[in-house]
Chains A and B, each alone.
Chain A
């Protein structure tokens, strides 16, 4: 089904970037009438999703979409090119934008937030730059919109305008801008001076003529330069960004912004270095271990946090490194797992954030220790929290199972038992810091007395919030049973496949 057949295929790319941008302008124009403004947001999000679906359709049919916009530097332009990994990310981001918009309407109104027009406008701008990142055809374009994304989300982080928000915003902007300018830009320029091109190419743009030492340094610069991937020790911005309103934390700091980071790392690994080249670099293993350490350390930190959003933030830091590790394992199946994790972690984590926001709106509770017995008041929210938590942990029948499955196979295939162990321990840690929340909410009570539960007790969040979190928790289930479309998409990425060739490693062990 393709609603956009009348449009020339390559123009769909510009549509996907322009639609949210125009949406942002319309939001400002209709700012005085909240109902119309919210309608604009919802319509924009829906139209964008249909465009992304049309692009997906073309991708499955093998139609190549390219678009050159401008050429700021001779021989090096702002250009876009659709490839399967970007389509996957765009699908996830644009679908969840619809859900988050519904949620945000309930949340912002329920919370009586100020400056709602600025909020919805910046939100649309951020999505616009995410679309541009998804479809970027070279590193320069990726870098440009990476920076635009940072800047357009800054007003969202500092939305509350109080001292805590300003401090959070300063850390946010400080780390993201400085890593990108000091490391990422240097890495990009270094790549350009070595190869004379910045285009994403299947199999990478480096070959054996380039010094391994220089490439090793470049890899480290890329990994740390893409600060949005939150590899330790440059992860502090993510917890700091939690001062933002919950819809921002949900869509941007569990899905769009952080995924833009790991997506960039995957792009660099697959299309700039190439998986084969990556295997030979000295720093690949070092970064792999740093990624593994990030997984474990941030899980441990998450356990110490009593503030629910802070705990979720550290959980995100940990989960992002799953993707980084998956990319750096340099095996085709681990990369597939990493790509799939972009989608599965997105639905799981956004559910958890939706729940955290719902709890804040309905019962004004931020700390986990106050949430004992909350299941009596908010049964739907807490049930959704449980579903999201199980998906993050990676247990069937939730979506997270698949990505963790492929990541583990990839680690086995690469013969990195250390990583396998890390993934397993991390799952245990996830259980330890996520599951007690819904369990205590349902099975304990604040006062210790136990009287039979009735519907009359419930004090749920506003309806839009409930709709949103129900949809994403159903999504967690659905992606477990029907992951095929996403997996088909991932298998289209050159050099990446979910079909393991296990025989080799088994023979090696035997």
Chain B
């Protein structure tokens, strides 16, 4: 029975546990419960990944209704890979949360925080696992609503405007996706992704499908904060509680990126999106602009959380650039970067949260002298920062290596050069913070006895991520294997779907 329902568990566990957490009410108790649930979900995701690496695809009919009529949960290497990253990050962030939210969220709202976190996790897992386009929208809304709540929980009142802005943009995005899915349903009469894939090809040049594609792409682009639809992200990341930012930065945009891959490769098909609609050129240009514009924006911010938020938008540019190259290596670079960027940004935001916990501010000026006062936190920040820059022996280097290889494969020498030059801007924005921490004296007004190393429950998950940054930078067999087989699989199925539809149309 366990084996049979394994696929549904990563969604159901947190979904059922969420209201229980709320009922528990007590801060410490709900923390332990939520963390245990998330860890369990992570364990199941690990099982799923190992299962898909041998069996390639697992399918589960929700409620016993077989697809395409019922809702199908479908696991392949691509989403099992992302699911593992998401649930692992969720667990680490929850461990980290206990101390962090004590400082940033009123104690009466702690249980609410854990509830929203679990709901968000359930939503994200749902998005990843579902094989149904409308169901995807439902899970997207579950995770988004939970996210708006999480952002607005901070005690700083500016978080309310940030959450509201996020809510408006997020709802527009979700509505666009819903309209797009509606159009697809109108034309094809099905919502199952595989079924859609076969039927869409028949109506290749249909105006309804074209419009549907446009709505979905714009909607998803808002969700993943692709330039120029990223404006909600810096505000939300800056004012949300640190633990929430660490969670969102390392998971939410990654899942949205996965949704984009799913729509392009599984539903619409490569040939249609890239060759007929010319989406690759649009994405490539936007990605390049995102890399440069947002990296530049990151260099002029004074709030470290905003710096990292802009850096995230720029990093999303790298992932999109990977897709826009329309090659197995390019997609693989994008997928690897999902995982790697989650490791880097998770660690960075955790370090920043630890600084807020002790110093009470995340302005660059507040980092002065912290290299001596909080050595472990700042060492973590520095290593993760080097990873963002793409220094060898870190995961950032691996991502960059594959992305540039993918560009060179197609003789895009200028593109390759741009990617590398773009990473130099990361040297500037990470360098500013690191220099303040190590080479500037703490302000005289600060009581040096008060500022000490962060509690170990914050350091532990932070350092797990930092060590993962190094480990997966040296031994990449797990990440490259998963990403390359996911990428090959996506390309294969995309062309198989096209071949199938050719048969149907005959």
A residues at B contact (CB < 8 Å): 70-74, 78, 140, 143-144, 147-148, 151, 155, 158, 161, 166, 169-170, 173-174, 177-178, 181-182, 185-186, 189-190, 192-193
Contact = CB atoms under 8 A, between A and B. Distances in A.
A78 B420 CA distance: 22
A182 B439 contact: no
Nearest to A169: B439
A166 B435 CA distance: 8
A243 B439 CA distance: 15
B464 interface: no
30 contacts: A71-B477, A72-B397, A72-B475, A72-B476, A73-B401, A74-B477, A74-B480, A78-B474, A143-B392, A147-B391, A148-B392, A151-B386, A151-B391, A161-B439, A166-B439, A170-B435, A173-B427, A178-B427, A181-B390, A181-B420, A181-B424, A182-B417, A182-B421, A182-B424, A186-B404, A186-B417, A189-B401, A190-B408, A190-B413, A190-B416
Given A72-B476, A193-B408, A144 B393 contact: yes
B350 to A, nearest CB: 22
Contacts of A169: 439
Contact of B423 (A74, A158, A173, A181): A181
A177 B476 contact: no
Contacts of A177: 389, 424, 427
B156 interface: no
A174 B427 contact: yes
B39 to A, nearest CB: 29
A182 B427 CA distance: 12
B473 interface: yes
B416 A186 contact: yes
Contacts of B413: 190
A198 to B, nearest CB: 11
A193 B431 CA distance: 31
Given A72-B473, A72-B476, A192-B405, 10 more contacts: A70-B475, A73-B401, A151-B386, A155-B438, A161-B439, A173-B431, A181-B420, A185-B404, A189-B401, A190-B408
A71 B393 CA distance: 11
A73 B475 CA distance: 8
Nearest to B402: A73
Contacts of A170: 431, 435
B439 A158 contact: yes
Contacts of B439: 158, 161, 166, 169
Interface in B419-451: 420-421, 423-424, 427, 431, 435, 438-439
Nearest to A144: B392
B421 A148 contact: no
B398 interface: yes
- Chain A CB count within 10 A is highest, among B391, B392, B393, for B392
B475 A186 contact: no
A193 B409 contact: yes
Contacts of A182: 417, 420-421, 424
Contacts, number: 72
Top 9 A-B pairs ranked by shortest CB distance?
A: A144-B392, A193-B408, A189-B404, A178-B424, A182-B420, A70-B474, A72-B476, A166-B439, A182-B421
Interface residues of B, number: 32
A190 B475 CA distance: 23
B40 to A, nearest CB: 32
Contacts of A72: 397-398, 473-476
Interface in B474-503: 474-477, 480
A167 to B, nearest CB: 11
A189 B435 contact: no
Interface of B: 386, 389-393, 397-398, 400-401, 404-405, 408-409, 413, 416-417, 420-421, 423-424, 427, 431, 435, 438-439, 473-477, 480
Nearest to B382: A151
Given A178-B427, A189-B408, A190-B413, A148 B480 contact: no
Nearest to A177: B427
Contacts of A181: 389-390, 420, 423-424, 427
Contacts of B474: 70, 72, 78
Nearest to A163: B439
A121 to B, nearest CB: 14
A147 B392 contact: yes
B428 to A, nearest CB: 8
A176 to B, nearest CB: 10
Contacts of A70: 474-475
A73 B408 contact: no
A190 B407 CA distance: 10
- Chain B CB count within 10 A is highest, among A72, A170, A177, A186, for A72
A186 B420 contact: yes
Contact of A189 (B405, B473, B475, B480): B405
Contacts of B392: 140, 143-144, 147-148
Contacts of A74: 477, 480
B296 to A, nearest CB: 15
- Chain A CB count within 10 A is highest, among B391, B405, B431, B480, for B391
A115 B306 CA distance: 33
A71 B479 CA distance: 13
Nearest to B391: A147
A344 to B, nearest CB: 32
B405 A193 contact: yes
B383 to A, nearest CB: 11
Nearest to B410: A193
A151 B434 CA distance: 13
B417 A148 contact: no
A177 B431 CA distance: 12
Contacts of A178: 424, 427
Nearest to A145: B392
A148 B393 contact: yes
A18 to B, nearest CB: 16
A144 B390 CA distance: 11
Nearest to B421: A182
A220 to B, nearest CB: 13
B420 A185 contact: yes
B453 to A, nearest CB: 17
A159 to B, nearest CB: 10
A70 B471 CA distance: 11
A158 B439 CA distance: 8
A170 B436 CA distance: 12
Contacts of B423: 181
A232 B435 CA distance: 27
Contacts of B390: 181
Contacts of A161: 439
A177 B425 CA distance: 11
B1 to A, nearest CB: 39
B53 to A, nearest CB: 16
A78 B473 CA distance: 12
A140 B392 CA distance: 9
A147 B480 CA distance: 23
A190 B404 CA distance: 9
Nearest to B403: A189
B419 to A, nearest CB: 9
Nearest to B480: A74
B139 to A, nearest CB: 35
Contacts of B397: 72
Contacts of A193: 405, 408-409
A73 B476 contact: yes
A172 to B, nearest CB: 12
Contacts of B416: 186, 189-190
